[in-house]
Structure 1
């Protein structure tokens, strides 16, 4: 199965919610990028549905979670050299 880049975005809507288990699960992917508050990019051979199913175990029913496959076309501004380099190499 081919490795691809997936965008993960979430909003945990209950005040005081603990992000630690969700973040730990995302960081379990071998390759990840995180330069925006609730947005991550991971490299994986898993499908969007598989990633969603793993991550949804770490959020509440009132939270929102998006997992989308990236096409490789992107533009950005304001990231440091490390963040930009990662994007160039992994999108």
Structure 2
């Protein structure tokens, strides 16, 4: 399993975030402590995640996926606890 970081910009007003959120949550255990950023522990590859996300986003939206191997920053304590258990 890997922890993926998924971040996005939805560029059309009135976007349906629920479809996006449901799709991200379907990949596995998740953490969502930053506005447009999710962490997901999953067996899916980045390519599989990309293809699934493309089905719920508009063509003018943008997203980025990467594998989390090391991290640092300033965030809610619960996020650090979640990451520490998985990375």
TM-score (norm 2): 0.91
Q: CA RMSD in A?
A: 1.1
SS at match of 1:87: helix
Distance 1:42 1:29 in 2: 7
Q: How many residues align?
A: 87
Matches within 5 A, 1:12-91: 12-71=10-69, 73-79=70-76, 81-91=77-87
8 Å CA contact 2:4–2:67 kept in 1: the answer is yes
Runs of 4 or more consecutive aligned structure 1 residues displaced over 6 Å after TM superposition:
none
Runs of at least 5 residues in structure 2 that lack an aligned partner in the other structure: none
**Normalising to structure 1: TM-score of the pair?**
0.88
Shift of 1:78: 3.3
Alpha-carbon distance in structure 2 between the residues aligned to 1:26 and 1:53:
12
